[in-house]
Chain A
Amino acid sequence: MRKVAIVGAGLTKFVRRALETPKELSFEAAKTALDSCGLSLKDVDCVAHGTAPDAFDGLHQNGEYMVDGCGGWNKPTMRVYVGGGTGVHAIVHGWHHVASGMFDICLVVCEEKMSSAMPHAQGFFLTIFDAITERDLKPNLLWIFALEMNRYMNRYGYTKEDMALVAVNNKKNGLKHPSSQFKDEVTVEDVLNSEIMAYPVSRLDVSPVSDGGGAVVLASESVARRITDKPVWIEGVGWSLDTAYWATRDLYYPRYTDTAARMAYEMAGIREPAKQINIAEPYDPFDYKALHHMEGLQLSPRGKTVELLRDGYFARDGNLPMCPSGGLLGVGNPIAAAGIMKVAELFWQLRGEAGERQVPGNPRLGVAQSWGDLMQVSSVVVVGN
């Protein structure tokens, strides 16, 4: 299998309401990523692009419109799409481009501008449901995730306090991230006392609405070694999509994350993920989701995750730091760009360039995961140095 490395990464600042257009966010992210490894657009062979629903930008064939913003003008450009999982999946998509042997340098660019949606981006999620069986019930994402959170907590006897710990942990980590849209630390009481959105989901259990862009540069082995002496290798990729009939599934366990993770670990030759992985960036749009995904990623035994969390196992200086970036709860959630942020974090952590956020002990292997669609898809990337 052809080896593929990440050689550069760049993020815009994540904000609630960006003045930049989606194209400009893409441009800024792409430019920052290319500058970070001393490349220019003419070195790029192809562009792998990702952005979540077209409805956010109000554009049909949004990938076409975004082409010149993300540097794909007169190049092979292909947009990939797995809903909320698009961010990490765009890296998988980029990996396909380079691993196939067709291209040597691939620029992966994702952006999301959710603030254009009026009055709120949630409105567009009303249109993701089955038009015949579900849409008339007017469900939104907060409702269905409330069902999932409830089921997960109920299955293992977890409490809302347990879940709030994740929000506190991630938001604290996020304060050190230069792209973060937050400035304040929160406490468990803050989370519990925040407004109920759909029980048991409270406002601070949820990541914010964000605008932002992210990009990474992927290169084949020989090219990567010329660009940098600290390439971060993509060791494994996996993705999995569960049935669209989400109401027929037991929501307590993310089996799509399970299958995606096993696929990535098999490729990376990882037999004992919980022992071998040094950093985890599970997708955390909701606080319970980080724990839910840690179990799916085989990084924590089912039902024991809160215990480990309370023991500090997932702290920055713990055995397996979880979301050292701050994750979506701590940095922000511009959907597709948030996935790139997770992989970029691993890139910086494994190179020892994460500054204040640096995880101690020279981490060697990290995993990033994203999640999306109707609680249905996971994309997993394992990187190592």
Chain B
Amino acid sequence: MSKRVAIVGIGCSGFRTTSTDLSYREMIFEAATKCYEDAGGIHPQSIDSFVASSEDFMEGISITDEYVPDQLGAVLKPVHSITGDSLQGMASAVMQIQGGQQCLVAASAFSKVSNLSHYEHVAAYATDPAYIRPLNENPYFIAGLEMNRYLFESGTTREQCAAVVVNNRYNALVNPAAVYGAKITIEDVLCAPPLSDPLGSLDVSGHLDGAIVLLLASEDKAWELTDKPIWIEGLGWATDTPNLDSRIEGLGGAVYARLAAEKAYSMAGIKAPYKEIDFAEIDDTFSYKELQHIEALQLCGPGEAGKLLEMGCFDAKGDMPVNISGGSLGLGYLHEANGLQRVLEVVLQLRGEAGKRQLPDVETGLAFAWRGVPTATGSAVILSNRS
């Protein structure tokens, strides 16, 4: 990358299925306070700008970005919101630093999904108003169609998808932040009530409340604030068409993931991702998505992810540990905050602060987030601890 940018502070709060005692603004305040403390106790006044990520309908507030500044300590500061995944928000922060006008930028995101009685009703408003919404279907039917097509095209089996759920929820048992940790079997997943065949109800990640704030800095500033900066080596994001019927690779592929990763790899100078990347935190909103994304991110060949998973390749001791945090299936689904949660986990691993789930000798990690149905937007970032 033209100009190096590092993550110098991390903070999070919540990570609970419900949080009746806290508003989302209070959760962000807590996460921001921890983040500023983590970055050497800096005062928010010395931060140059702030980026938030949110969507109006999730909060029942139009123009949600009005309510960003106070809890971040960002009143009368440059603040803007990205209506996208928080990894896109972080990309905006990185571009600001590279542009040279800012040295220190905070990226924040939250999920207060427990306020919603039926998330699917909100998600339905993201579907095409003329062609899809009148069908009056739960939008997860799109995931069912995608999964069916992906299994057909890649030769992946239903059992292999179930194994993703088993693995991730097992991994979550040693992550103190994860709430969906469990020892379950492939049979449990296969026997769970169907949602949209072949997608079963255990193939879907559960919702989670939480807030995350990260602090990003230019190279000079980073060394001032911390002796363990985590560098952003490359990042990319891409969006496929929202029209289900005109996606270039149909419903079986994840073009957005491939395009986002290609950009990130080229910036980071990575030619053979499966060799050069030590571990990955990859979107697993639905079980099949993890496998589909692993393939699209070129961490293995097409149609290989399921078999490699069964061989243990993606376990903590495998060649390419994936979702050691538990992923969305084990930790919980944070909506637009998913991207920052994945970055947070990669940073913890690279700093050697991941506790019981710490991977040995890791230098380069990949975080990838997807925005969920019905979107086709993905963002990827490569992080490293090599100075």
| A and B associate in one complex | yes
- The reply to whether the CB of B82 lies closer than 8 angstroms to some CB of chain A is yes
Contact of B55 among A61, A93, A125, A244 (CB under 8 A): A61
Mark contacts of B233-276 with chain A using CB atoms, 8 A cut-off: 1 yes-contact digit, 0 otherwise. 00011111111000010000001100110010001000000000
Residues from chain B with a CB closer than 8 A to the CB of A372 are 63
Q: What are the 8 tightest A-B residue pairs by CB atom distance, in nearest-first order? A: A99-B99, A100-B98, A100-B95, A60-B125, A101-B2, A241-B79, A60-B126, A96-B95
Residue of A nearest to B49 (CB): A239
Fill in one digit per residue for A81-108: 1 if any B CB lies within 8 Å of its CB, else 0: 1110000010011011101111000000
- A-B residue pairs in contact (CB < 8 Å), sample of 14: A1-B99, A55-B56, A55-B62, A63-B84, A64-B239, A74-B248, A77-B237, A80-B82, A93-B80, A97-B95, A101-B1, A239-B78, A239-B79, A242-B76
Chain A contacts for B259, CB-based, 8 A? 74-76
| Chain A residues with a Cβ under 8 A of chain B | 1-2, 52-55, 58-65, 67-68, 72-83, 89, 92-93, 95-97, 99-102, 124-125, 127-128, 130-131, 237-245, 255-256, 259-260, 263, 267, 372-374, 376-377
Tell whether, in the assembled complex, residue A64 and residue B126 are in contact, meaning their CB atoms are under 8 Å apart: yes
Question: Which among A54, A81, A97, A263 is the interface contact of B80 at CB below 8 angstroms?
Answer: A81
Which residues on B sit within 8 Å (CB–CB) of A93? 80, 92
Contact A241 B77 (CB under 8 A): yes
Q: Is the CB of B95 within 8 A of A373?
A: no
Output the least CB separation between A163 and chain B (Å).
Answer: 25
Query: Given the complex of chains A and B, what is the CA–CA distance between A62 and B239 in angstroms?
Result: 13
Say whether B78 contacts A125, CB under 8 Å.
no
Whether the pair A53, B80 counts as a contact (CB closer than 8 A) is: no
Taking the complex as formed, is B68 at the interface, i.e. its CB lies under 8 A from any CB of chain A?
yes
**Which residues of chain A have C-beta atoms less than 8 A from B134's C-beta?**
none
The docked-state distance in angstroms from the alpha carbon of A131 to that of B56 is 13
The answer to whether B82 and A79 have CB atoms under 8 Å apart is yes
Known: A64-B377, A100-B95. Contact between A75 and B74, CB under 8 A? no
Chain B residue at minimal CB-CB distance from A264: B101
**Cβ of B78 and Cβ of A241 under 8 Å apart?**
yes
- Contact for B56 among A53, A100, A267, CB less than 8 A: A53
Contact of A255 with B76 in the complex, beta carbons under 8 Å: yes
> Could you mark each residue 125-144 of chain B with 1 if its beta carbon is under 8 Å from any beta carbon of chain A, else 0?
11011000000000000000
- Complex Cα–Cα for A35 and B267 (A): 30
Measured CB to CB, the nearest residue on chain A to B243 is A68
Could you count the A-B residue pairs with CB atoms below 8 Å apart for me: how many are there? Answer: 197
Give the dominant DSSP class at A's interface.
mixed
Interface size on B, residues (CB 8 A): 65
A101 and B241 within 8 A (CB): no
State the CA gap A88–B96 with chains docked (Å).
Answer: 16
* A373: B residues at CB distance < 8 A: 63, 65-66
Complex interface: chain B residues within 8 A of A74 (CB): 238-241, 248, 255-256, 259
Asked if B184 CB lies within 8 Å of chain A CBs, one says no
When C-beta atoms are compared, the residue in chain A nearest to B88 turns out to be: A78
Given the complex of chains A and B, what is the CA–CA distance between A59 and B256 in angstroms? 21
Beyond A60-B126, A64-B375, A244-B67, whether A80 also contacts B81 by CB under 8 A is yes
Determine whether the beta carbon of A259 is less than 8 Å from that of B377: no
Nearest to A73 among chain B residues (CB) is: B241
- Chain A residues near B91 (CB-CB < 8 A): 78
| Residues A78 and B84 in contact in the complex (CB < 8 Å), given A93-B92, A241-B69 | yes
Query: In the assembly, what is the distance between CA of A102 and CA of B93, in Å?
Result: 13
Contacts of B76 in A (CB 8 A): 240-243, 255-256, 259
Evaluate whether A60 and B123 lie within 8 angstroms (CB atoms) in the complex, with A80-B92, A101-B3 already known: yes
Inside 8 A of B56's CB, which chain A residues have their CB?
53-55, 60
For B75, give the chain A residue with the smallest CB separation.
A243
CB–CB B70/A243 < 8 A: yes
Set of chain B residues within 8 Å of A241, measured between Cβ atoms: 65, 68-69, 74-80
Residue in chain B with minimal CB distance to A61: B126
Complex: chain B residue closest to A62, CB-CB: B83
If A76-B237, A256-B76 touch, whether A101 touches B98 (CB-CB below 8 Å) is yes
The smallest beta-carbon distance between B63 and chain A, in angstroms, is 4
A242 to chain B, nearest CB (A): 6
The one of B1, B80, B256, B260 in contact with A239, judged by C-beta atoms closer than 8 angstroms, is: B80
A99 and B96 CA atoms in complex are apart in Å by: 8
Q: Once bound together, how far apart are the Cα atoms of A377 and B126, in whole Å?
A: 27
Whether the Cβ atoms of B70 and A245 lie closer than 8 Å is: yes
Contacts of A240 on B, CB cut-off 8 Å? 76-79
Cross-chain contact A76 with B238 (CB below 8 angstroms): yes
Task: Decide: A54 and B78 in contact? CB cutoff 8 A.
Answer: no
B254: shortest Cβ distance to chain A, in Å? 12
CB distance B98 to A65 under 8 Å? no
Given contacts A68-B241, A68-B242, A100-B99, contact A79 B83 (CB under 8 A): yes
By beta carbon, the residue of chain A nearest B259 is A74
Given contacts A241-B68, A242-B75, contact A52 B63 (CB under 8 A): yes
Known A-B contacts A1-B100, A68-B241; the reply to A54 vs B61 at CB < 8 A is no
- Whether A128 touches B66, Cβ cut-off 8 Å, given contacts A72-B239, A81-B80, is yes
